[in-house]
Structure 1
Amino acid sequence: MDIKSLIKNLNIELTCSICLDYFTDPVIANCSHSFCRECLLQCMWGAGDTLTCPECRQLIQISNLVPNPNLQKLSTAGKTIGPHLLQSMVALATCDQHWEKAKFFCEEDRKLLCDSCSITQEHRDHRILPLDNAIAEGKEKLQETSNMLQKKQEKFKIAFRCMRNRKIYFREIAYAFKESIINENEKMHQFLWDEEALYLQILDEESKDNLEEIEEKKTKLTQQIQNLQQMILEIEKRLDKNPLEMLQDMKNTLARNEELLSQKLEVSYPIWSICYITGLQEMLISFQRNITLDPDTANPHLILNEELNSIKYTSVPKDLPDNEERFDCCLTVLGTQTFTSGKHYWEVNVGDKTEWIVGICENSISRKETHSLSSKDVRTLMGFTSEKDFFLWNSQCGFYESEPIHVVGIFIDYEKGHIAFYNSIDGSLICSPPNIAFQGPIRPYFSSCYPNENSNSGSIIICSGSKSANDVNYYGNALNDK
């Protein structure tokens, strides 16, 4: 091996592979590679107590680093004698062609030249420098490059420290945001819990009042029944008397009878306070779906508009194909959409109709015969007017008196078997029956109900997903009527 290679190998052995300079305070890792202690510690910024070897990528435990004083001594010696070795190399340098002492350097060919080489035709137009000058220029350029790289390295180190600090900062900010979200939601939870407690208290009080009223009316009805029974017995006795006595007492008997007959029958229906739920409409609107009607399921007495979002009763049935999907007996039409999972919400504008039914049903519902609204495959809400009062009915919640409803919101959670009905005008809960698992695909259900002398012929309109009950223009008539 020539002296040039020996010096090169010596420099490699005495140089840190991270900073590419002679070792300073070298340490040996458990993988047998050596590095400057400071260089190695810089590599572990933000990495904890372990890092991977820059040479072989093996795991290094910082606690297992061993100082290497012998390598430090060799590195110091190499740093001291390095310039002298380079001068010796320059003194020993010879050209490849004439084996004479090299005195010049050709920049174009990157070759050492002797006196004879420098005057040959081969290097005539090349830039040839004295060897000392070439070495000086080379050192200067390398030093400039080294300085630029060091500045660049320092910028990257500063950026690295900034990123490390930013990582800590972002962790702190994320924690602060998380705490803020938790605190804000705790306040909202507490607010909702307080609302829940208040409504439950009101419900308990109303339940007590309704039960007392029912008990009072039961007692009154019992007394009225007893009075009627007594009157019936007296009349039967009068009928058994002789005609003259019967006619003499008939006036008083008929007067008492008229008084009893004029008594009104009072039946008590529970009236509940409206349950407003804060933030309900904002939550429901995120699950709103565009529902359209399936004309293949529509009863012949129902007229659907072109947009398939409105139904109206007609006394003259339309001539429609008698397909398997069509309802024959019930004034019913289903939505086109079928749900087998997820949460879904839609709104139905029933306007001033005096009788209507909306909700959902299982896709397997019978179409060719009358089906019961109390069956498990139908979950609906019915609204109807009786004389001057408006009532709501659900198979699980029963009958109860209510203010007229103009827009009904329907929410389902398929996985929970849950359905709930809302008054979309004021955002209050109408009823939420107990959860029962759905047995298959479900579809929106609409019924106009058969008209009578007290009912009107208004339409049922499915609200589009782009409109809600808060849209005053869309629901202006319903709001004004209310």
Structure 2
Amino acid sequence: MAAEDLQEELFCPICLEYFQDPVSIECGHNFCRRCLRHSSEEGGGSFPCPECRQPSSTAALRPNWALARLAERARHRQQQGHRAPETCGLCDRHGEPLRLFCEDDQRPVCLVCRESQEHQDHSLAPVDEAFESYREKLLKTQRSLMAKMEKVTYLQDSEMKNAAEWKDKMNNQQLRVSAQFAKLHHLLDEEEQLFLQRLSEEEKETKKKHAENTLRLNRMIASLKKLMLEVEKKSQSSTLELLQNPKDLLTRSENQDVNYSVEVLQVKTECHVPMMKEMLKRFQVAISLAEDTAHPKLVFSQEGRCVRNGTPASSWPVFSSAWNYFTARRNPQQTPQSVKRFQHLPSVLGKNIFTSGKHYWEVENQSSLVIAVGVCREDILGIVGNSEISPDVGIWAICWSSTCYWPLTGNPVISTSLEPAVQRVGVFLDYEAGDISFYNAVDGVHIHTFSCSFVSHLQPFFWLSPLASLILPPVTGGK
């Protein structure tokens, strides 16, 4: 048997202290004589055993000298330095020593409390046992908390180290970003200078060619003036002088070279800014067609993303009078508020309404026929009279086919060739800057820009020539 178990056998079950003058009763259990006397006073000569409840008599009490000696030795060892059970004070209700611990109420109680109705069904243990048990549990909990503290401290150190490493990474990334953009700025500066140099060279060549053409025309004019003077002088001379070889003058006049055609001067060097296509994509928005604003001849498909002009091709005027086709006629009896859709202009608006910010969308020409794309004021459906499509009436758009384009400015048409052929055009609106720009959506090459101050809500604008069709490609990035 362990030493602790042997020591427990030396405690009186009643007072829970070392036996003092221990006696044995008929059932074999041992108690302090004083404790047994107090317990059996009410029963007279016969009393139940405090532990097993078997009846016994005071006459059967027998001193247990061996147990007394062992208890005395154990008490003496405790007094020599071993820890004795601590006294927990007195019970507030009964004034008795607090020798028991109630597990249910989690507090020390006295022996009288044990017999009370309040603690009848409670689990009770000696104070020293509860002390040792809970002390061991607390020590175990303390070790567990220390282990947790060590873990949390390690995690805190790891977090601090992680934050320091992240800060270093962030600083390095910021330096890399600054370095890369500085390099990009340098490359863009070089590209800018290269394009400006190309433009300068093209300008020199064009000016030289223009000067040569001007010199040629001046020589032709001088030669014609000389011949005109000779013819005038010859025609006013006398008969004999006039008939002196008049055929030579006539032949020279007929053979005078006036074969010359004016070549329209165009800028051939394209403005191709690197990464323009990627930068435009950052502002890409999904455009939806407002079918309720469309001209009756426009037909929609692919969930409203594709639109086609069903007007017969015979209604398309010849190129010289094509400008008249860009005319919106409105019944004078109608008010702008009553106009719900385009009646004469084969056009449709986008549902999107822009009042600020930067926005980019793309339009694909499926038919290679002439279409017009851009933006307009949202009240454009109430356009009055025979106004031409132009910024003056609140429409900023370019007319465009696969081979050429021209801005709709209200002036006579001067088309610009698109080489190579452009199938998809990007529209970029910078509301605050007052710019609406058009780009080749394939490589980001700039086509045209309108500049003005927008003072109203804007909507996407689309116009289609007969049998022409366009589609709004799905958005692949951006907002």
Specify if TM > 0.5.
yes
1:94 alignment partner in structure 2: 90
| Secondary structure in structure 1 of the residue aligned to 2:185 | helix
Alignment of 1:296-311 (within 5 A): 303-306=298-301, 307=304, 309-311=307-309
Alignment partner of 1:421 is 2:433: no
Q: Is the 8 A contact 2:359 2:429 kept in 1?
A: yes
Tell me the distance in 2 between the aligned counterparts of 1:311 and 1:136: 96
Q: For residues 124 and 287 of structure 1, do their structure 2 counterparts lie closer, same or farther at Cα, with a shift above 3 Å needed? A: closer
Q: Is the 8 A contact 2:220 2:257 kept in 1?
A: no
Q: Is the 8 A contact 1:345 1:410 kept in 2?
A: yes
Query: What is the CA-CA distance between 1:467 and the residue it aligns to?
Result: 7.9
| Secondary structure in structure 2 of the residue aligned to 1:273 | coil
Q: For residues 432 and 139 of structure 1, do their structure 2 counterparts lie closer, same or farther at Cα, with a shift above 3 Å needed? A: same
Deviations 1:324-358 (A, max 9, x none): 457788x5635334432222223344578676654
Deviations 1:364-389 (A, max 9, x none): 6644213374748444435689xxx9
Q: For residues 460 and 275 of structure 1, do their structure 2 counterparts lie closer, same or farther at Cα, with a shift above 3 Å needed? A: farther
Deviations 1:221-280 (A, max 9, x none): 222233334444545555556899878866444533443365122334133223322222
Counterpart residue identity of residue 308, structure 2? S
Q: For residues 131 and 168 of structure 1, do their structure 2 counterparts lie closer, same or farther at Cα, with a shift above 3 Å needed? A: same
Query: What is the CA-CA distance between 1:416 and the residue it aligns to?
Result: 0.4
2:190 alignment partner in structure 1: 194
Counterpart residue identity of residue 360, structure 1? V
Deviates more, 1:410-419 or 1:458-467: 458-467
Deviations 1:377-420 (A, max 9, x none): 444435689xxx96756769x87665364333222211101122
Alignment of 1:64-213 (within 5 A): 90-91=86-87, 93-110=89-106, 112-114=108-110, 126-213=122-209
Query: What is the CA-CA distance between 1:430 and the residue it aligns to?
Result: 2.3
Tell me the distance in 2 between the aligned counterparts of 1:102 and 1:355: 105
Q: For residues 355 and 281 of structure 1, do their structure 2 counterparts lie closer, same or farther at Cα, with a shift above 3 Å needed? A: same
2:419 alignment partner in structure 1: 403
1:340 alignment partner in structure 2: 355
Alignment partner of 1:270 is 2:285: no
1:438 to 454, 459, 474: 454
Counterpart residue identity of residue 463, structure 1? L
- Max radius of gyration: which structure? 2
Q: Which runs of no fewer than 5 residues in structure 2 stay unpaired?
A: 1-82, 317-328
2:217 alignment partner in structure 1: 221
Deviations 1:118-154 (A, max 9, x none): 5667656654433333322232222222222232223
Tell me the distance in 2 between the aligned counterparts of 1:119 and 1:467: 84
| Secondary structure in structure 2 of the residue aligned to 1:270 | coil
Q: Is the 8 A contact 1:338 1:441 kept in 2?
A: yes
Q: Is the 8 A contact 1:313 1:448 kept in 2?
A: no
Q: Is the 8 A contact 2:369 2:468 kept in 1?
A: no
Q: Is the 8 A contact 1:390 1:404 kept in 2?
A: no
Q: Is the 8 A contact 1:269 1:400 kept in 2?
A: no
Tell me the distance in 1 between the aligned counterparts of 2:108 and 2:400: 106
| Secondary structure in structure 2 of the residue aligned to 1:161 | helix
1:360 to 364, 372, 375: 375
1:464 alignment partner in structure 2: 473
Tell me the distance in 2 between the aligned counterparts of 1:116 and 1:207: 117
The number of equivalent residue pairs is 367
Q: Which runs of no fewer than 5 residues in structure 1 stay unpaired?
A: 1-86, 450-456, 469-482
Q: Is the 8 A contact 2:370 2:468 kept in 1?
A: no
**Aligned-CA RMSD value:** 4.4
Q: For residues 375 and 105 of structure 1, do their structure 2 counterparts lie closer, same or farther at Cα, with a shift above 3 Å needed? A: closer
Q: For residues 251 and 279 of structure 1, do their structure 2 counterparts lie closer, same or farther at Cα, with a shift above 3 Å needed? A: same
| Secondary structure in structure 2 of the residue aligned to 1:277 | coil
Structure 2-normalised TM-score?
0.61
Tell me the distance in 1 between the aligned counterparts of 2:126 and 2:209: 120
Query: What is the CA-CA distance between 1:466 and the residue it aligns to?
Result: 4.3
Tell me the distance in 2 between the aligned counterparts of 1:364 and 1:230: 62
Query: What is the CA-CA distance between 1:312 and the residue it aligns to?
Result: 6.4
Tell me the distance in 1 between the aligned counterparts of 2:109 and 2:288: 92
1:62 alignment partner in structure 2: none
Tell me the distance in 1 between the aligned counterparts of 2:442 and 2:371: 17
Structure 1-normalised TM-score?
0.61
Query: What is the CA-CA distance between 1:204 and the residue it aligns to?
Result: 1.4
Counterpart residue identity of residue 142, structure 2? S
Query: What is the CA-CA distance between 1:179 and the residue it aligns to?
Result: 1.8
Q: Is the 8 A contact 1:353 1:458 kept in 2?
A: no
Query: What is the CA-CA distance between 1:431 and the residue it aligns to?
Result: 3.4
